[in-house]
Amino acid sequence: MFALYQAEVTHRELDALLRPGASTFTRALAYAAQDYEEDLDGLIERHAKGWSVDRISPLEKAIMRVALLEILHPDAAPSDTPIPPEGAISEAVETAKTFCGAEAPGFVNGILAAALRERVASS
């Protein structure tokens, strides 16, 4: 998530931002989030009532992109135990509580919960 944030802010390549010892899972998740960025951002913007994706902080976007990727594309990053959608949302909200402003956790939760409801309704 931090590498995605840094890539957006500094316009550097993920290769230069991922730690040399980053796990295969971390690398696959970061690259998949970047590959699906346009679709993920469209979903974020659709559920961010009154907010364009450009107005959302880069860190909050990175948090939501990773969570949405885990929810919508669980096979994008190799894992022996896929994260359940509710777990991905919980992790994203806790990350927002730690690293973002006071309003971010509710904002992140609202968008991710709406995206999950949409996914469940279309299944």
| Residue 14 φ then ψ, to 5° | -55, -40
pTM, entire model: 0.93
Using the predicted structure, report yes or no on whether residue 6 has a pLDDT greater than 80: yes
Which pLDDT belongs to residue 44? 96
Model pLDDT for residues 36-61, shown as the tens digit of each residue: 999 999 999 999 988 889 999 999 99
Which pLDDT belongs to residue 46? 94
Phi-psi region of 50 (alpha: psi -120 to 50; beta: other; left: phi over 0): left
Task: Confirm if 25 and 55 have CB atoms less than 8 A apart.
Answer: no
Q: Identify the DSSP state of 100.
A: S
Mean pLDDT of the chain: 93
* Whole-number Å distance between alpha carbons of 54 and 7: 15
What domains are there in the chain, each with its CATH number? 2-122 (1.10.940.10)
123 band by pLDDT with thresholds 50, 70 and 90: confident
Using the predicted structure, report yes or no on whether residue 31 has a pLDDT greater than 80: yes
Between 50 and 98, residue with greater pLDDT = 98
* Whole-number Å distance between alpha carbons of 10 and 19: 16
Model pLDDT for residues 65-84, shown as the tens digit of each residue: 999 999 998 887 667 777 89
* Whole-number Å distance between alpha carbons of 64 and 66: 5
* Whole-number Å distance between alpha carbons of 6 and 71: 23
Residue appearing with tokens 């690398």: 27
Residue type at position 58: P
